[in-house]
Amino acid sequence: MLGLNEVALLLSVLASAALGQGTVRSRSLSDRTRRVALNTFTDAQTAGVTEWTSWFNIDHPGGNGDYERLEAIRFYYREKVCARPAAMEARTTDWVAAADTGEVVHSSLEKGFWCINREQARGRVCSNYHVRFQCPPGSMQSYWTDWSEWGACSTTACDDAGIQLRQRKCVNTQPMPLLLVPACLGHHSERRECSNPPCIAKWGPWGRWGACSATCGGGRRIRRRTCVRTSETVRCGGRPTEIQKCGKSPCPAKCQLACTEGRPSEDCSRCTCDDHVLQGEVRAVSGVPVAEAWVALDSQPKVIRALTDAKGQFRLEGICSSSSTLISIRKEKFAPITVSTSSNGTAWSWVRAVLRSAEKPYIVKHPEDKVRHEGGRAMFCCKATGSPAPDKYYWYHNGTLLDRKQYKYEEDLVLWSLKPEQSGKYYCKTSSSAGSIKSSPALLTVIAKGKPACNSTPETHLIRLPMDCVQPGTDSMHYNAGRCPHNKCAGSLGFDMRCRDEAGFCCGVHDTESRTIDCGSYSLPIRAVTQCGCQKCPQPTVLVRGRVVTADNDEPLRFGHIYIGRERAGTTGYQGGFTLQIPPDTQRLVVNFVDPTERFLDTPKVFILDKKGGSIYHNVKVMRKQTPIDINAGDSNSISLGEIEGEDPIGQLVIPPNSFHKDNGEIYEGTVKASVTFIDPRNITTAAAAPGDLNFVDGEGDMLPLRTYGMFSVDFRDETNKEVLGAGGVQVLLDTQHIKMPEHIPKMKLWSLNPDTGVWEEESDFAYTTTTAGGHGRSKREERTFLIGNMEIRERRLFNLDVPENRRCYVKVRAYMSDKFLASEQLEGVVISLINLEPKPGFSSNPRAWGRFDSVLTGSNGACLPAFCDAQRPDAYTAYVTAMMGGEELEAAPSTPKMNPNIIGVSQPYLDKIDYQRSDHEDPALKKTAFKINLAKPNQNNIDETNGPIYPYVNLIACENAPIDANHFRFFRVEKDKYEYNVVPFEENDLTTWTGDYLSWWPNPQEFRACFIKVKIHGQKEVMVRSRNLGGTHRQTKGQLYGIRDIRSTRDMREANTSAACLEFKCSGMLFDQAEVDRSIIAVLPQGNCRRTGTNSLLQEYLIKHPPVAQNNESQGFTMLAPVDPLGHNYGIYTVTDQNPRVAKEIAIGRCFDGTSDGFSREMKTDSGVALTFSCPERKINRESLFQRLQTNPAQTLSQMARSMRESEGMQAQGSPTRAMAYPSEQQGRTQNRRVTPTTRRRAPVRTPQRQ
């Protein structure tokens, strides 16, 4: 009798024959072929005849790996997989068996097959697999449905047992007689035992206490609870009620308060007059009524007696008029106030109160760094303003709160008998009802007894030598001149208990020695530092310079008012330029630019300061006000926020009817001229016009960053466009479709900018609302979701749609003198700016909008810029980074034609993850002054990402102290053809490195005079021009070198074969002792085949009239005693004096390029303002080289060479002396300076000795 498997096989063969699906032989051959070298996973308990399914591939190896789950395969291909497969085979899509791939894989006949990326060898990921299963024949035509849910238990009583049942059905997929279809194997139903939980009884929670039976003298109160049980057979233990004593306080004695008017109040705290009424009025500073203000008695501030109405008025009954009563008035976002009532002898009294807007505390005096010897004393000072004024101060040492009782501090902290362990950072924190703020930390250094105040050994400082100066034996173009670190030290103070030490002391140059650098063909003198010591610090004047222009077309803000805080500090010039001198103790500089013509927005800016370099240049952008539109004050009005062509507005302002009011609080009716200017982050050109620095202060007093979705300014005026109007109850709607990061939606807030502090302050939260709106390009209106916030326009402030962002990092950037990126040539005082960009939906690397703008100043170890970053998605945030130094844009490291990690400064594979691209990466015509990166937060478990250039926010110290060989991004100055050498080394970006010496290039550290001479070159190529600067008339410097300056001439694009150089020279004038003038001797030397063809007649006349006159017998150069007077462009001499050397030089170079005494240009103009003219023709090659002759006529050249060699051998055989052979070389051509013929070549050996 046939077994079950044989019957099943026979039925499947009959079914195949009936359906015409192929012969039995072909199927068996096919199956036999597939079984060769199978990589199978088999169920050992399954036996008999089976057949393979088709191949399945439902997952790809992205993400965490490749998962071919049986449950998922059944979901998509239910009829093609049997209920219990007998075996499974897995292969890659390249037909490699799973066992042969070398990968770690998993399989189960119940779960399927899977491979996980993190389990693979380093650098490998899972392959793409597909699987198939072995099933009994015909099992895919008949299959069981899923089991139904278990039915209810047959018993319902608690603590009892019963039975549960579930079922399934056998389903046929082929329309054929039942006899030909194999039946499903197994049972169609299953049973299992079930039981109900034990019977329980437990008490429910206690109810509230009832009222006390007595208010004083003792009473009782009761509370109850209920028993909850599952059967009548069980009960709860305990009592259902509980009694408690209450009202224990003794009953008060009879009130003893004597009232001259009225009667004592119920609590006996005051006198009350039932027949007297106090009426009051509360207004803001602008005159607008303040509604819903809390009114209370000052003696009971927590008991609210009344609320002001819409007109700002309130009414209190029972306030007696015979005595003065203090009334406390409070309102959110206003500073609380206490006012006194006045008696008028009638049944009515009036009081008027004016509320000022609340202002969070703001530090106006920060503690300053101190250096003291052990046993000394120090005082740190802190002062803050605000409304209300801060009333509490707290001091911290290295983050730990100091005990107020021990140190007895308030605003000032005094430390006595200092010890080394008291060194560290000190800061203060101050609070008021409006908030808290922390000061900048001050560093206290306590030098232990016996230790020197300053390390006397100078540190290494390599200076670059001229290009033609190579030291014999070393081939080095650098020399160690030494320098002192210029950190603060403990000097002799006249009085050490000041907030700011009267005279700061630094480690400076104590002694130098004169040395000579051997350059091979010549030598250079240098003053090298040999000893450092503690001395008074040079105090450079701290300046902020810049130019204010509009963001749309660079129109200058002419004669704009400049405010620092609430004080007028200056005015912009006709071209928008400005210069501000800043007090040296300033920690945070907030400058507000106000347009008196009211065409531009008032723009507060937070500027960074350079207390070493003395001057920072800022290119300030301001927004132009939108043209006002007319709206009716009696209607409901809606104004869109943000209008980008092809896109919907980001939001809108909704102004209810009758919301406008005048300064005196009177409701305004009529036409309103409304101007709403929106700074749209979707337009990246507006990033530089962002006011403030996008920071806010949290409840703990820490300054934290914001990420903006747009800023706007409103200006409402009456129909005459004169009186400014306020508006109450204004709604701000923000369209959520523009918020690409869903996690930002619940954190979105409305902020306003405090123009005095530059800090954003919270106005209101947002709530969800749905409205019907028609978007751009929509043919019909549709429902959309908005965030809605409420605001009141009380004053002309900027408003912001922002979210606090905690995904923060730091980006390390360095600036260099050249593209050689030498550690000794780092630049300080460079302004590095980073614009955070928001990605498009899906977090594509192509940015959509900017969200934040930050600037940081480079120091001796580069700069660390704050930025938003993301650990999960590398391109969730991107950024553009730029660098500027004194108005000059620096060039970023290139990313084309090949990504070179050694040039960019970031190693692989992190560089690919960051996706570094310079601004000209795709379009070479663009400027090279910026780069774009993905802000991928580093994975601390990946060693490739722990060495920069992006650091987690908590690793700021690691970023600031990163070594030069750590990953970082790079900028450099494009000055390949410029060189400066000073005998007394000086770093122009750090004025504290100045050394008082007769040979110092700059004799006065408080005033720097830059001198340039314009040299015109006639020639096809640009030429290097050098100035050699010697002492001329001063007895201490006569004949001694001050320094060397090299510059390559710049091509005039308007005139062919003409260029010019603006060459710096040492100005004449007083030396550092301010005792005697030195007329320095200047030698102008073009490098090459040059001849002087012209000298400015006015300059020549001046030099003759102001002897002594230098001799100019040689036409290859020009020598003069530098003029003492600032001559100007008519003489070809350009002189600028400034408190910063870099600024003085930049201005002088700009005038020299322009050829005027007051202009500025970066394009060379050789037709004006020239002092010297040289002709520098290119040397002509008058004969061909041997290589050229071999290329043009090889046969003749070889024949001539052979004939010359034979003649030479014959002469040597006759004993003639050794002679130079006349080979057709370039050197021989230079000597003869004529075309060589075969005849002259033969005569050359005879004539050569005669010339020697």
* Contact predicate 114/63, CB 8 Å: no
* Contact predicate 92/103, CB 8 Å: no
Q: Other CB atoms closer than 10 Å to residue 520's CB: what's the count?
A: 10
Instruction: Check residue 1008 and give its pLDDT.
Output: 87
Instruction: Check residue 703 and give its pLDDT.
Output: 83
SS3 6: helix
Lowest-confidence region among 191-195, 646-650, 1148-1152: 646-650
43: CB partners within 8 A, 6+ apart: 84, 85, 86, 87, 109
Indicate whether 1187 pLDDT > 80. Answer: no
- 11: confidence class by pLDDT, cuts 50, 70, 90: very low
Q: How does the average pLDDT of the chain come out, rounded?
A: 80
Lowest-confidence region among 23-32, 437-446, 849-858, 901-910: 23-32
Q: From 1152, 1159, 1141, select the one nearest 1009 (Cα to Cα).
A: 1141
Instruction: Check residue 976 and give its pLDDT.
Output: 57
Dist. CA 647–CA 420, nearest whole Å: 62
Indicate whether 1009 pLDDT > 80. Answer: yes
**What secondary structure does DSSP assign to 859-926, as a single string?**
BTTBEEEEEE-BSS-TTSSEEEEEEEETTEEPEEPP--SS--HHHHT--TTHHHHHT-EETTSS-TTS
Indicate whether 1240 pLDDT > 60. Answer: no
Q: From 1111, 1092, 1065, 1081, select the one nearest 1172 (Cα to Cα).
A: 1092
Dist. CA 751–CA 762, nearest whole Å: 4
Dist. CA 205–CA 10, nearest whole Å: 71
* Contact predicate 947/959, CB 8 Å: no
Mean pLDDT confidence for 353-375:
88
The larger pLDDT score, comparing residue 568 to residue 137, is at 568
pLDDT in tens, 1079-1124: 999 999 998 889 999 999 999 999 999 888 888 778 889 999 999 8
CA atoms within 13 A on the CB side of 367: 31
Residue type for 558, please?
Answer: R
Question: pTM for this structure?
Answer: 0.65
Return the residue matching tokens 């609340």: 358
SS3 654: strand
Helices (H), 358-451: 404-407
Mean pLDDT confidence for 440-465:
88
Helices (H), 20-127: 24-34, 70-76
Using CB atoms within 10 Å of the CB of residue 225, give its burial: 0 to 12 exposed, 13 to 18 middle, 19+ buried: middle
Indicate whether 1252 pLDDT > 50. Answer: no
Dist. CA 592–CA 562, nearest whole Å: 6
Instruction: Check residue 183 and give its pLDDT.
Output: 64
Lowest-confidence region among 228-242, 792-806, 1238-1252: 1238-1252
- 1180: confidence class by pLDDT, cuts 50, 70, 90: low
Q: From 1023, 1178, 1174, select the one nearest 1092 (Cα to Cα).
A: 1174
Share above pLDDT 70 across residues of the chain, in percent, rounded to a whole number: 84
304 Cα distance to chain centroid: 47
Instruction: Check residue 857 and give its pLDDT.
Output: 85
585 Cα distance to chain centroid: 25
SS3 71: helix
Dist. CA 910–CA 942, nearest whole Å: 10
Using CB atoms within 10 Å of the CB of residue 16, give its burial: 0 to 12 exposed, 13 to 18 middle, 19+ buried: middle
Residue type for 283, please?
Answer: R
Mean pLDDT confidence for 803-807:
66
* Token pair recorded at residue 648: 């919907």
- 845: confidence class by pLDDT, cuts 50, 70, 90: very low
Dist. CA 751–CA 759, nearest whole Å: 10
Q: At what angle do helices 1194-1213 and 1238-1251 cross, to 10 degrees?
A: 40
Instruction: Check residue 771 and give its pLDDT.
Output: 61
The larger pLDDT score, comparing residue 660 to residue 736, is at 660
Region label for 268, one of left (φ > 0), alpha (ψ between -120 and 50) or beta (otherwise): left
Mean pLDDT confidence for 659-677:
84
Instruction: Check residue 1043 and give its pLDDT.
Output: 92
Residue type for 661, please?
Answer: H
Q: Is the dihedral of CA 202, 208, 212, 218 positive or negative?
A: positive
279: CB partners within 8 A, 6+ apart: 313, 314, 315, 316, 348, 349, 350, 351
The larger pLDDT score, comparing residue 439 to residue 1246, is at 439
Mean pLDDT confidence for 852-857:
82
Considering just the CA atoms, what is the radius of gyration of the chain in Å? 44
Indicate whether 48 pLDDT > 70. Answer: no
Dist. CA 141–CA 182, nearest whole Å: 8
pLDDT in tens, 59-97: 877 778 888 888 888 888 877 788 778 889 999 988 899
Instruction: Check residue 1227 and give its pLDDT.
Output: 35
* Contact predicate 206/242, CB 8 Å: yes
Indicate whether 1216 pLDDT > 50. Answer: no
Dist. CA 1173–CA 79, nearest whole Å: 94
End-to-end CA distance of the chain: 125
Indicate whether 887 pLDDT > 80. Answer: no
**What secondary structure does DSSP assign to 137-163, as a single string?**
TTTTTEEEPPPPPP---S--STT-EEE
* Contact predicate 1048/979, CB 8 Å: no
* Token pair recorded at residue 898: 């090949």
Dist. CA 1224–CA 1241, nearest whole Å: 8
Dist. CA 196–CA 182, nearest whole Å: 41
**Three state DSSP letters for 1010-1047:** EEEEEEEEECCCCCEEEEEEEECCCCCCECCEEEEEEE
Instruction: Check residue 1224 and give its pLDDT.
Output: 35
Q: From 867, 926, 855, select the one nearest 894 (Cα to Cα).
A: 926
pLDDT in tens, 716-726: 888 887 788 88
The larger pLDDT score, comparing residue 413 to residue 847, is at 413
